[in-house]
Structures are given as C-alpha cells and as structure tokens.
Structure 1
Amino acid sequence: MESSGGGALLRNRRLESFLDTSSGLRVEEAQKILVKEKPELWLKKDVYMDDNGWVSSIISWIRIVTCFVSMMVTTFIWALIMVVLIPWPYERIRQGNIYGHVTGRMLMWILGNPIKIEGAEYNNERAIYISNHASPIDIFLIMWLTPTGTVGIAKKEIVWYPLFGQLYVLANHLRIDRSNPTSAIESMKEAARAVVRNNLSLIIFPEGTRSKNGRLLPFKKGFVHLALQTRLPIVPMVLTGTHQAWRKGSLHVRPTPLAVKYLPPISTENWKAEKIDDYVKMVHDLYAAQLPETQRPLA
C-alpha cells in the first residue's frame, strides 16, 4: 500500500501522458496501464477506452478469423469422436464437455482478454448453473468453465447452426420446443427427467436471449421449474465486461478485462411451486446486486 498520494499522482500523470494526443502513443497502451494497476476500478465502474484505429481493427479481425478456423478444426475432430460414440450417450456428453473445455479455453486465449475468476471452488458442484448473457464471449466462457457432466439446454432450432449445432446434438445436449408454452413446459419436464436419470448438471441462460446493451434482462421461469423437478442447487455465474469486449452486431473484439464470479450454491430442497415468482425475483435481484451499475437493469 502507498503511504502518500505521490505514487497515485505519478500514475495519473503517466496515464494522462498516454492519453495526450501529442504524445503519439496509442490508447491501447494506456489501457494496459489501467488494467495492470487498477483492474478492480475498471471492472467496478465499467471504465472503457475505445480504440477503433485500423491497426486495432486488423488485429481484431485476425483474432476472429483464427477463432473461427480453430473452432472448425476442433469441432470436426470431436464430431468424428461423437459419431464413434453414438451407442454410448453419457460418454458423448462427457466428450462434449471436454470439447468445450479445450475449445472454450483456446478461443479465450486467442482473443487475449484479461480474465479474473472468483469462486472457482463452486464449479465442481452437481447443480443448475445459470449465467447472464450479453456477448458471444459468454458462450466461450461457459464452454470452458462448466464442469464435466454438464448438459446445456437450447432451442430446438440450434440443430441448423452449421457444425456447432450438429455437434450439440451429437453431444446429447438437450433441446426444448419454444413454439408454444405447452410444448416448452413438456420439453422442460423431459430435460429434468434426463438430468436426474443420468446424474447430470445443467447450464442455462435464464434471460432466454442475449442482452443488446449488457444490461440484465428479466429472467424466464424455466430454471426454477428445472430446480423444482430436479432439486439441484443453483450456482449463479456472474459475467462482467463481455458486452464491452464483443458488442452485439460488431466484429471488433476489444481488450476489455473480463470477470467471472461463481456465487455460493442456492439450495432448492425446500422450494415450493406456488412461490416460483418469488424465487425468480430473488435470483434476479442477486444478479443485479453483483453486476456493475452499467449492467444492472434500468428501473
């Protein structure tokens, strides 16, 4: 810890010199100083310095293309493995998780964003993992950080996504029919039975869709229905900064620092069906309290 304000003043002047256009230095270098010296301040206040220069754009494009090509290679390899394992459904789930761990970690390494992970001791629970969702990066993080023996739940139309959708089905992950409420409820019941029968964990985005601006959306009730039917604890995963790193509709990945925080498991053993709305609000409020101001839902 510093005993006087001299060090802070020196750093402030140093940062100002980087931001001064007359210095000829890039904003990116100033970002590195801020990330290194005050990462908690950046994440807490969601401070972000944009850099849309052509060099930054080219680097971003190279990273995205490298991610795409790398993912195609690993997807093709694991698709072959899945085909061989068709008679063994549980082993396909396990291999799907291994694919996610390898591919998700590799993609995050290619993108190069600094990542802070808290509460990792909770990521080996057999549980229903939930996460806020505001960026494609969320998918990479979830693939990497959910434990082996976890299945995802997605809309049935995912099967039409090139390569990834077919691998999703081969990995024996679960799909739900959202065409009408009755079909969706029945799909959730089938998913819950499969989870209990095979002693699995679940991962689901309770918002049901991706936030356009990073602010937390209202939660759907599906994760609570699943908890009531499986009695698994809920482990919230709070993702911060991903909406700034890769914005919706953009092909420019920025060097924003990211944070993943696992919260302690929430027991659902004594939950009651008549209090579903209360549980949804409780978990949503918990997320809102953990997120920075710029990611909290507007009143």
Structure 2
Amino acid sequence: MELWPWLTAALLLLLLLVQLNRTAKFYAKISLYCALCFSASIVAAAVCLLRHGGRTVENMSIISWFVRSFKYLYGLRFDVKGRQKLTVDRPCVIISNHQSILDMMGLMEVLPERCVQIAKRELLFTGPVGLIMYLGGVFFINRQRSQTAMTVMADVGERMTRDNLKVWIYPEGTRNDSGDLLPFKKGAFYLAVQAQVPIIPVVYSDFSSFYNTRKKIFTSGTIKVDVLDAIPTSGLTVDDIPQLMDTCHEAMRTAFFHLSKTPQENGATVQPHAQPAQ
C-alpha cells in the first residue's frame, strides 16, 4: 500500500492545525526551539573543538553567535540599555531574573567577554546541550548536595580572580513567570563577597505578552533589558549579605516593573522575605 498520500495528508493536516490552533502553534514553536538548541549545539561543539581544542571560556563567543541567531527566526527584538556597564575588564558577579527557556537568548544577547554561567548539574547530561555548556566553561552545581555546591562555589571564587572571569547567576534559583521576582538565594552574594568583586544586576522585562505557557502564547515581541549600576562589595563580610541581597532585590524589582510597565500595587505582589540558602 502506498504510504506517501497518507503521509502527505497527515503533514498538511498538521500544518493546518498549527495555523488554526494556538496551542498547537505554541508546542510546534517550542519543539522547534528545542530542536534548534540541540542541532546548534552539535555544530557549535564541533567549531569549539576545532577552534580551541577543548573546554575554555573563549568558546562562549562561538556559542553566543549561534544562540543570538535564534531571535531572527522567532521575531524577537532586544532593546538593551547600559550594555557598556558589562564591558569592565575585571571580575564581577552578574545576576539577572529568570523567566523561561527564552532566557538563554537574552543571556547570549548581552553576554560580555570572559563570562561563564553557573548551572544545575542535571544540565550536564542533556546530550549536545550539556556538551556545549561544558566546552563553554559553565560551572555545574549539584543543588541536592549543599557541601558539594559550597566547594564548587569556593573554586569559582578563586578562578574568578585568577582568570579574570565574570560569572552569571540567576539568584531566584528557578524559572519564574509570576510577574514579579522571587526571593533571592544566597549563593551569588556569598560568591561576590568572598571574592570581593562587584555585583552587576541585569533585568529583563516581562515576557508574558508574547510568551506565556499558561495561555499557550508564543509570538514575536520586544524584550527590554536594563543593565543596572554595579553594586560594590569591597569591605563587606558574610554579616552584610542579607542587606546586600535586599539592596539588589529592590533595585531589580523596581527596574522589572518599570521595564514591564506593570503597576506595583501597595504590597499586593510582594513575595515572602524568607531567603532560602543556596
């Protein structure tokens, strides 16, 4: 029996469904995004190995080039303010809000030279994506073992100053599309105080007008990005970390509402102040 007519009919039906059904279109775009991540990781890994021979922060410029190209396919535009604040030639800790899988595009859009990320260890085992993260010098942390995580963070602090690295961390610790910021975890702030390096907050506007998992929306849109002024940690100690966290959280939250044009009601969206340790 000839299968081609049936396969063609099924493909046409799928294309029609995607055009007519918002949910189908949403999952089709998500599937394409995942496929892009895997295929681009394979190609980028080969380029990284040919160019630099192995694991090095220098590979991040190659990875960034591949990921930045995704925005053209999805009709996304980045409006960045204060980009020059990330070009300082010294170690620092960069923190930003964490909303969705699209954050990777946002990160690569403004990623400065000699900057690596801290990620959960599970991502190391995601095939070519884990491989390219490893080749880019990403530090992996086992969040289930606090002692191991602390050892990795101590090593990161030493390497920051020795190798003149910038380290990018999501202090919320998990994706959050609530329209507000979650309380921050302490890891990024311990790292900055330990290494006595400044913290540079980077804030991305709310994605929900064009990317919303609950409403199954994934359309084109503009992401506003604001790189805030560096917050110094020189002379601070562990005892100063709670105040440092509050200062960064307040500054980023204010910027987030401003960028997102979201009215900040009197305490209506304020999150609990409990700060879970990382």
TM-score of Structure 1 vs Structure 2, range by shorter chain = 0.7 to 0.9
1:98 aligns with 2:30: no
For the aligned residues, what is the CA RMSD?
2.7
Q: Residue 121 and residue 86 in structure 1: after superposition, are their counterparts in 2 closer, same or farther (change >3 A)? A: closer
Contact 1:154 1:176 in 2 (8 A): yes
Q: State which of 123, 129, 135 in structure 2 corresponds to 1:164.
A: 129
The 2-side partners of 1:279 and 1:230 are apart by 15
Q: Match for residue 207 of structure 1?
A: 172
Q: Residue 117 and residue 99 in structure 1: after superposition, are their counterparts in 2 closer, same or farther (change >3 A)? A: same
Q: How does 1:50-61 map to 2 (within 5 A)?
A: 54=20
Q: Deviations over 1:76-115 (max 9, x none)?
A: 12211333467664xx321223312x12321122211343
Which one-letter code corresponds to 2:48 in the other structure?
M
1:122 aligns with 2:122: no
5+ residue gaps, structure 1, are: 1-51
Q: Match for residue 4 of structure 1?
A: none
Contact 2:97 2:170 in 1 (8 A): yes
Match of 1:136, SS? coil
Which one-letter code corresponds to 2:63 in the other structure?
Y
The 2-side partners of 1:163 and 1:152 are apart by 17
Deviation at 1:256, TM superposition (A): 3.7
5+ residue gaps, structure 2, are: 1-17, 273-278
Identity of aligned residues (%): 23
Contact 1:104 1:140 in 2 (8 A): yes
Q: State which of 47, 52, 55 in structure 2 corresponds to 1:81.
A: 47
Deviation at 1:66, TM superposition (A): 4.7
Contact 1:130 1:204 in 2 (8 A): yes
Q: Residue 271 and residue 171 in structure 1: after superposition, are their counterparts in 2 closer, same or farther (change >3 A)? A: same
Q: Match for residue 278 of structure 1?
A: 243
The 2-side partners of 1:250 and 1:105 are apart by 26
Contact 1:228 1:268 in 2 (8 A): yes
1:111 aligns with 2:80: no
The 2-side partners of 1:255 and 1:95 are apart by 29
Q: Match for residue 268 of structure 1?
A: 233
Q: Residue 231 and residue 250 in structure 1: after superposition, are their counterparts in 2 closer, same or farther (change >3 A)? A: farther
Match of 1:257, SS? strand
Q: Match for residue 192 of structure 2?
A: 227
Match of 2:76, SS? coil
The 1-side partners of 2:165 and 2:183 are apart by 26
**TM-score with structure 2 length normalisation?**
0.78
Q: How does 1:232-271 map to 2 (within 5 A)?
A: 232-248=197-213, 252-271=217-236
Contact 1:236 1:262 in 2 (8 A): yes
1:142 aligns with 2:107: yes
Q: Match for residue 14 of structure 2?
A: none
**TM-score with structure 1 length normalisation?**
0.73
Q: Residue 256 and residue 83 in structure 1: after superposition, are their counterparts in 2 closer, same or farther (change >3 A)? A: closer
Match of 1:191, SS? helix
Contact 1:150 1:203 in 2 (8 A): yes
Match of 2:235, SS? coil
Contact 1:153 1:203 in 2 (8 A): yes
The more displaced of 255-264 and 64-73 is 64-73
Q: Deviations over 1:232-276 (max 9, x none)?
A: 211111100224432246764133432111001111112222111
Deviation at 1:54, TM superposition (A): 2.4
